[in-house]
Every structure is written in structure tokens, then in C-alpha cells.
Homo-oligomer: A and B are copies of this chain.
Amino acid sequence: MPLPRAPRLEEVAVEAGVSPATVSRYLNSPRVVAEATGKRIRQAIEKLGYVPNLNAGALASSKSRLIAALVPDIAASMFNDTVEAMIDSLAEDGNSVVLALTGYDNHRLLAEIELALARRVDAIILTGIVGDKRTRERLRAHPVTVIETWGLPEDPIDIAVGFSHRAAGAEVARFLRGRGYRRPHLVVPTSPRAERRATGFIEQWLQDGGDEPTRMSVAVPSFFGQGRLSFRMLADLDVRPDVVVCGSDWIAQGLIVEALAAGICIPDQLAVIGFGNLRMAGDMRPTITSVDIDGKHIARETIRVLRARALGREVEKRIDVGFRMVARESA
């Protein structure tokens, strides 16, 4: 059987004996409609099984209630907590999230931005800062709210909610030096963010009088298996490190598992520090020392500025959510 055409708002209006304008008002701001009128409309909607067409609504009001979230990946991402919390909050406000994947070399970023603009999304949320200058200009030329998260550029495209990766790296250096470690080895995922943390670490380490740390790179997205591999590659180093600074908790976890299997005692023979403070870090044996980034806090601040913007209020350009050292057993 062919399905009947979906009823339109006008048919609801006829059924309820009011004008389309009133039905529209009832749907969008129920309070301005008289109680009795509202009731009739409600019944008409129920009777006809009316489902509004939000595409028409978006066109007429030029508000799509669509937010684009552009992330590198979701398979094994540190951002998942942030994204999840954002989707949750946005849903409460009646917004929907269009999730687009940009890959780690951002090769699809520009195309996804164009698509988001064409959909007339109310905002574009990016994880990580946009490196490409042309892309930044493109975004600035459009009347769309842009929020860069997890990073804190000097001059945000529009708004940034994040923390200084450089400062985080420096803090790790101070922390480890304070604990008496002297020969750190860095395992650095090949992402701009991890790179900045490594830079921050090294600068601080040298400044405090330490020797140049050894380092190696691993591909992003980083995962458990790379940690294991990283442990084995320690054997090739000229100086034996006393602590391994991992670019993510997954790398730290893999490295620990491999070290334990090799009979190495952690942290006595080798200390390990992760990054991100994933839930697993506190549950591992030994528990993993890490740097806590509060992804939900980032999400909260992002939603807050989004709401402020929607109300036409002025908002800060740079919001620093900071980070926090979490000392546990592994270092």
C-alpha cells in the first residue's frame, strides 16, 4: 500500500479551526498561544499524526538547529567524551549534531566545512585547531559560530575552548624532574597537539638543566599495540631511560603490559606517564600517572558559549579549561 502523504501544518490548522500561523506559534513557543487553542491544536496534531518538517522550518526561519561537529575519528579518540557530552547537551536544546570525520591529516576538513556551511548549521565545532590559513579565512567570512576545542590558539577563528598543550608538556617535565627522574624518553604521536606538548616538555626540561631527552614518533590514532611496540624499541636507545613520557594513556597501557610481560617492574625499573587520564588509567595495574583533561568540562563551556551566542550576548574568545597532573603508581 502506498503511504499517504504526510499531513502539513495547514491541515492541522484546518482541523483545529485556527490559522497556520497559530499552529506554528504553538509548536515554537507554546506559551504565547491561549490554553484552549493549544489544546485543540494538540488534539489535531495527535489525530492527524502530524510530524513537522524541520527543513521547511529551517528555510523559513534561517535557523537550522543543526550543529556540525568535525572530529578526526571516533574509533579510538580522546575526544569521544567531549563529543558525547556535547551531543547530550545539544539534544536538550532541540539541536541535532551532524558528525563529520576529517581524518588525521585533515584532508577532508575543507570539504566537510563547505558541506556544513551549505546546510546552514548554526555552529561548527572543531576538535583541534585549524592549521590551514585559507580555511581559517573561509570560516571567518561566514556568519557562523566556530568553536575550536582542545586547543588554545593565540588568535582563534572565532572562539576557542581548550588548554595550552605546551604548558601541559612543561608541567609534565617539572613533575617528573621533581620526582627525581633524569632520563626521560618521549613517545610522540604525529599530531600537532602531541608535538606541542613534546616541545613544551623539552624546553622546560632543558631549562631546568636536564639533558636533551630521547624521543620517537608513533602514528595517530595511537593505540594499545603501539605502546607495546614502543617498549621493545627502548632496547635500541643509547641511554636507558628511567621514565617514558607517552603521548596517550593507550600507549602507556600497552607499554606497561609489554614491560610486565618482560619481567620489568614498574615504576622501579621503568616509570611510565600517560596523557588524557582515560577512565582506564585509574583502573590499570599499576595505575597510570597521567594528565587529566576534563573533556566534559570542555563540552560544558562549549555549550555555554553557544547558548550565550544564541541569545546575542558577547562571549570570550579564549576559554582555558586547564589540565591537572594525576600522580598514581606508574611514575
Q: How many copies does the complex hold?
A: 2
Q: Which residue of B lies closest to A83 (CB)?
A: B74
Question: Which residue of the partner chain, among B96, B99, B120, B225, contacts A53 with CB atoms under 8 Å?
Answer: B120
A64 touches B55 (CB 8 A): yes
Whether A225 contacts B143 in the complex (CB less than 8 A), given A56-B59, A75-B80, A75-B81, comes out as no
Question: Which residue of the partner chain, among B66, B91, B143, B261, contacts A101 with CB atoms under 8 Å?
Answer: B91
Chain A 60-76 interface 0/1 with B at a Cβ cutoff of 8 Å (1 = within): 00001010000001111
Whether A254 contacts B225 in the complex (CB less than 8 A), given A73-B84, A96-B115, A118-B52, comes out as no
> Does A233 interact with chain B (Cβ within 8 Å)?
no
CA distance A247 to B84 in the complex (A): 23
> Does A104 interact with chain B (Cβ within 8 Å)?
no
> Does A270 interact with chain B (Cβ within 8 Å)?
no
CA distance A98 to B87 in the complex (A): 10
Extra contacts besides A55-B59, A96-B98, A224-B284 (4): CB < 8 Å: A49-B141, A76-B80, A97-B99, A260-B260
The 7 A-B residue pairs whose C-beta atoms are closest, nearest first, are: A225-B283, A261-B285, A55-B58, A99-B99, A224-B280, A3-B143, A54-B118
Residues of A within 8 A of B (CB): 3, 6, 49, 51-56, 58-59, 64, 66, 73-76, 80-81, 83-84, 87-88, 91, 94, 96-101, 108, 112, 114-115, 117-120, 141-143, 223-225, 228, 254, 257-258, 260-261, 279-280, 282-285
